[in-house]
Amino acid sequence: MSNPENKIVITAALTGGATRKDQNPNVPYTKEEFIEEAVKCYEAGASIVHIHVRDPKTGFATPDMEIITPVIEGIRAACPININLSTAIMAGLKPEDRIRPVVELKPEFASLNTGSMNFALFDYKSKDVFVEFLFDNTFATIKKFAKAMREAGTKPELEVYDLGHMYNVKLLQMKGIMDEPLHFNFVFGVAGGIHFKVDHLVSFINLLPEGATWHTCGVGPAQFPLAMMAAALGGHIRVGLEDNIYIKGKDLAQGSWEQVKKAVVIAEQAERAPATPEEARQILNCPARA
């Protein structure tokens, strides 16, 4: 579908699987915190929230549907923002546990990771990898998840962490396992994945299939420079405490909603206005809500 008014879709990634309250106390853990944060992001200009639900007792990401379901139902009842559920959730899960929230809750969007990789957290002061795991996304898993998303009426958001992942998508689409036009999330800055350089982003864009949409996800200091480039080049923006706990320099963000407000300013500088949730579904070619 076209985007005649040149609207920009802003996604707020509220938590991720790793960001903790001891890093930024505004990271949501409880159902009430998730709902409040989603509403604030919607009011600030976001049209999608990307969610890894947390166990409120431990603060860790969880696949427990008894915890996940009330959070998603609560957000849906509180505001019309689109839901994007993670199918990574946390390290070490079986594929059936990763896809189950999508199958049962049928969100508008869900992440579909497009390749296996070393996924790590790196301490640039000590120059040490202090957390790492093998992020397992085989072709068989990708196909299984894509089929489940199609059956759920959920639009896949194709997570690409390296150029090779773009070619994985090209191979898989020879079978037409996902409905086109496709939507991509270009992730920069994960240890084990590609890091941000202007020519890297251009390379991703040059590999897009016809009609595809895309947005950027920059870890840490790459977040807002990538948002600026996306706004200028016709892409869309992802911000949120999953990716970056700051708003400027070492000033902690008051929440993902504050980063959304900054993204809106960036979009306006590129003469683009934030899309509403309904406009976001149209722009990203998401199936209509039932």
CA distances from residue 95 to 62, 196, 234, 263 in whole angstroms, order as listed: 14, 29, 34, 33
Pick from 61, 182, 18: which is nearest to 114 by CA?
A: 182
Locate the domains of the chain by residue range: 10-283
Peptide bond into 181 cis (omega under 30): yes
The per-residue pLDDT string of the chain (290 residues; one tens digit each, 9 = 90 and over) reads: 568 789 999 999 999 999 999 999 999 999 999 999 999 999 999 999 999 999 999 999 999 999 999 999 999 999 999 999 999 999 999 999 999 999 999 999 999 999 999 998 787 788 888 788 899 999 999 999 999 999 999 999 999 999 999 999 999 999 999 999 999 999 999 999 999 999 999 999 999 999 999 999 999 999 999 999 999 999 999 999 999 999 999 999 999 999 999 999 999 999 999 999 999 999 999 987 65
Question: For residue 206, which amino acid is it?
Answer: N
The Cα-based distances of 266 to 78, 152, 213, 230, 251 in angstroms read: 27, 34, 19, 10, 18
Beta-carbon-side half-sphere exposure of residue 207 (alpha carbons within 13 Å): 20
pTM assigned to the model: 0.96
Rounded to the nearest 10 degrees, the angle between the axes of helix 139-152 and helix 95-105 is: 10
What pLDDT shows up at residue 2?
65
CATH number for the domain formed by residue range(s) 10-283: 3.20.20.70
Instruction: Say what the pLDDT of residue 73 is.
Output: 98
Q: Using an 8 Å Cβ cutoff, are 268 and 20 in contact?
A: no
pLDDT at 1: 53
